[in-house]
Chains A and B, each alone.
Chain A
Amino acid sequence: MEKISVQDVTFTYGSEGADVSAPAEPAVENLSLEIEKGSYTAILGANGSGKSTLAKLIDVIEVPDSGRIVVFGKDTSDDSVFWQIRENSACVFQNPDNQIVGTIVEEDVAFGPENLGIKLPELRERVDQALKDVGIYELRLREAASLSGGQKQKLAIAGALAMRPEILILDEATAMLDPRSRDEFLAVCEEMRLKKGLTLITITHDMSEAMRCGRVIVMSKGKKAAEGTPAKIFADISLEQYGLRRPVIIRFAYEIARLAGVTLTEEDLTGEARLREKITKILTSPDLANADIPEESNDKEAKTRRKIMSVKDLFSSYDGGKSFAIKNINLDVYEGEILGIVGESGCGKTTLISHMNSILKPSSGDIEVYPEEGVTLRCSQKKDVQKIRQSVGLVFQYPEYQLFEETVYKDICYGLRKMKLTAEEQKDRAVKAAKSVGLEKDVLRKNPFELSGGQKRRAAMAGVLAMRPKILVLDEPASGLDPVGREEMFALIKSLREQGTTVVIVSHNMDEAAAYCDRIICIRNGEAVTAETPDLLFSDKEKTAKFGIDQPKITKFTSLLKQEILKRLPEVHFERMRFDPEEEARAVYRAVLKAGRKDVK
């Protein structure tokens, strides 16, 4: 049987490696694993667990310090077959912009086969075929820079496929895509695997992506921590210690099982349908265990709150009014809430929040900010602009890319210096801001580029928070973080809200938006669809279908589950939807119990 065989491999990045400041710990240590030809494998692990290094080792971009990697019978340390192995495997990386070499789409696809010395007309045939396979043939003469993120990633697969590899490695290739592009991207890769017998290896943080695979390998600190079928891996409770979380559906199922005192088997976890069947069976069984579940406080209940920002009939155009990036947006933001702005890439989310901070000028309409009772600031008033920028803090996507000072402290103080505060005031605010994002005091003295990814992001956020904004606007605050990092980020956002900041989050992740936001506004093609509480929004099937709003995964799962239960127990009356899987599990359980008790009476 042909396979990729990693045998006791250790690898340390040398001094010429990516991160010179990092201590020279091995990125991969005594790693042994096997991946069979034609299989579909997910490699999971927290940031820095060695996943990407493994990909580079398999693709012979790096060679192990010790141990051996044998790819389909060829040893990667053997110089005579080095190119053969590399030609046989292709990679798609995370950032679409940083892997496009050609200016024009077809020129980029040709880059790989040109390197292999493929001659015309085969070269032309390969390029066309690859473009057709991923469905972007009609874009072949477009400028690559003008494509959307999803299209750029498809271009990257086309570039990989044109080399006719047997192994396709996706190195967090879906991390920067919105859910729809992500599904399309994976569907293309999976189709190619079946059609061309590719060995597909996907390195990911997305647990539901891992559920699509045949096998999962969990990495932790450069070592293999676990491996098996997705069902086996997700049945293993100790996933948290590797910085991972179970998929939401499985978390839901485990909470139901815990309440009912039932154990789930590995087999129950193989596939959504089977899992739903099992849960339905548990919940509808006549001797369902009576669990005492306290009613949960309805903290998402809309209280009468003060309006803090109001977007009025906002239109925005980048081309002087020929077309509008956003059209007729009306939106009120209330003090102390977390408001989610969701929508696909390119729908106008980022444009809208740039207006909130008065970086862009509206074509028509206005935004009013009420930092205090009785004070009204208007974006249209030039004298108010500076005050608005102080009242509304804006943190763009990947804020760590904007750090520039030599110490974290100086960087945090940048905005404060611009506000012309005294040195003492600056220090006080900077230290408090650092504390509020969970940065230790000694970090302040460090160079921002020495910090880890998560810490850098926190430092950048502190720079905005130090200006003491009343409203904090965050563009995709969790992008690029691993599951635990994401949870920590949202915990941080919640704690900022507790401290009195109103938060606006832009996200394309429906699961997180639903779980953490009090209200959600959905933007589609520049138009705002609605601002409602998540349970109202997602329970309105007509509306979600009409506007193409993707439901959170947990909701997709439970709404089918609820239908199943209602078929058998029509008297059950379900509560409003929850979006935290454990909370939703308790709510469902409670609803079934209540109905059951009536039966008994």
Chain B
Amino acid sequence: MLSDISLGKYYKADSILHRTDPRIKTLLYVVYLVVIFMINSPAALGALAGVIVIQVVMAKVRPSVIWKTVKPVLPLSVFILILNILTIKQGDLLFQWKFISITDYGIARAILMAVRLMFLILSTSLMLTLTTTPLKIADALESLFSPLKLIKVPVHEMAMMMSIALRFIPTLIEETDKIMKAQVSRGADYDTGSFINRVKGYLTVLIPLFISSFRRAEELAVAMDARCYKGGEGRTKLNPLKITGTDILVGLFLTACAAGLVVMDLTLR
């Protein structure tokens, strides 16, 4: 049921993007985040799509995996599309019926928002989750935020918490699937009925899932204790982060792409 969702899962491959230092990827991710929300013109957005295709090639991720990543977000995207179309009143009126009014600006904004959401998911996946293991993401954040240690921010602990949360996503998806099956066999129905009833129905999954997560957390804590985890101090790394020449090239190339997109957007505006 839930196992074909790729959102948040690592995709194993040997690609330039996989090998790139996670700190560079994190910074690139932030850059693209800004770009995605900065550019407005259709041409620039089209060019951004092109850059994302280049990233897909650089990451050697199969198109089917990209589809699985995007699929779960589609309903949300459609929802945003409709909501924007219906609520934006600016622009020239195209259609009016009772309280519903649709404007050309509304449609343009709605498409822009939906497309942005898709780009957001894609660049998060390509820059981070698909190509970078959770532990590396955590390493990168720990390293990037390490100056904050000076003002007593528990950077290592936060990074560790994050990496564990990510590590448990597949486990919890599997567990959710199991619980759902068990409740379905007792007559639960998650697909029909009123919205309220469906939400109520999900409690039969969420409560056991919560309880088992607590149990897992407790067992994991004991296991980490037994393996002498004592926080970040004095810890070494099997694969310490190291920036190579290729990493810098990848970083410069993708930053240049991003800069190009912004310039393109500004000149077209």
Contacts and interface: CB of A to CB of B under 8 A. Distances in A.
A83 interface: yes
Contact of B182 (A87, A114, A396): A396
Interface string B194-227: 0000000001100110011001101110111111
Contact of A91 (B166, B216, B223): B223
A298 interface: no
Contact of A61 (B3, B187, B225): B225
A415 B230 CA distance: 46
Contacts of A127: 238
Interface size bracket, B side: 35 or more
A558 to B, nearest CB: 38
A563 to B, nearest CB: 45
Contact of A114 (B212, B220, B223, B237): B237
A235 to B, nearest CB: 35
A489 to B, nearest CB: 18
B96 interface: no
A402 B167 contact: no
B226 A419 contact: no
B186 A112 contact: no
Contacts of A399: 182
A106 B190 CA distance: 39
A241 interface: no
A318 B3 contact: yes
B216 A97 contact: yes
B133 A103 contact: yes
Contact of A418 (B188, B237, B240): B188
Contacts of A285: none
Contacts of B179: 401-402
B234 interface: yes
A103 B166 contact: yes
A418 B135 contact: no
A61 B226 contact: yes
Interface string B227-251: 1111000111111100000000000
Contacts of B222: 56, 61, 93
Given A61-B225, A401-B179, A102 B167 contact: yes
Contacts of B12: 141-143
A449 B211 contact: yes
A18 B218 contact: yes
A337 interface: no
Given A103-B133, A104-B135, A123-B236, A404 B204 contact: yes
A354 B181 CA distance: 8
Contacts of A99: 219-220, 223
Nearest to B171: A97
Interface in A90-120: 90-91, 93, 95, 97-104, 106-107, 110-120
B239 A117 contact: no
A128 B181 CA distance: 40
A394 interface: yes
Nearest to A106: B238
A351 to B, nearest CB: 11
Contact of B186 (A124, A145, A414): A414
Nearest to A416: B187
Q: Which one of A59, A87, A101, A113 has the highest number of Cβ atoms from chain B below 10 Å of its Cβ?
A: A101
A163 interface: yes
Contacts of A114: 235-238
Contacts of A318: 3
A17 to B, nearest CB: 10
A155 interface: no
A453 to B, nearest CB: 12
B212 A95 contact: no
Nearest to A102: B135
Given A98-B220, A115-B235, A404 B208 contact: yes
Contacts of B181: 354, 359, 396
A393 B187 CA distance: 10
B68 to A, nearest CB: 12
B228 A112 contact: yes
A582 to B, nearest CB: 36
B35 to A, nearest CB: 29
A410 to B, nearest CB: 11
B178 interface: yes
A401 B212 contact: yes
A95 B217 CA distance: 12
A291 B179 CA distance: 53
A165 B208 CA distance: 37
A252 B167 CA distance: 47
Contact of B164 (A101, A354, A357, A418): A101
Given A97-B216, A464-B186, A107 B238 contact: yes
A86 interface: yes
Contacts of A163: 227-228
A467 interface: yes
A204 B189 CA distance: 40
B185 interface: yes
Contacts of B237: 110, 114
A414 B204 contact: yes
A362 interface: no
Given A87-B228, A98-B223, A103-B166, A418 B187 contact: yes
Nearest to A320: B4
B184 interface: yes
Interface string A118-137: 11100110010000000000
Q: Which of A106, A111, A127 has the most CB of B within 10 A?
A: A111
Nearest to B139: A107
Closest 4 CB pairs of A and B: A418-B187, A110-B238, A99-B223, A404-B207
10 contacts: A59-B226, A98-B216, A115-B228, A115-B229, A115-B235, A357-B185, A389-B187, A402-B182, A404-B204, A418-B186
Given A93-B223, A103-B10, 13 more contacts: A56-B222, A87-B228, A98-B220, A102-B167, A104-B133, A112-B228, A115-B227, A117-B236, A120-B238, A394-B185, A396-B185, A418-B187, A467-B186
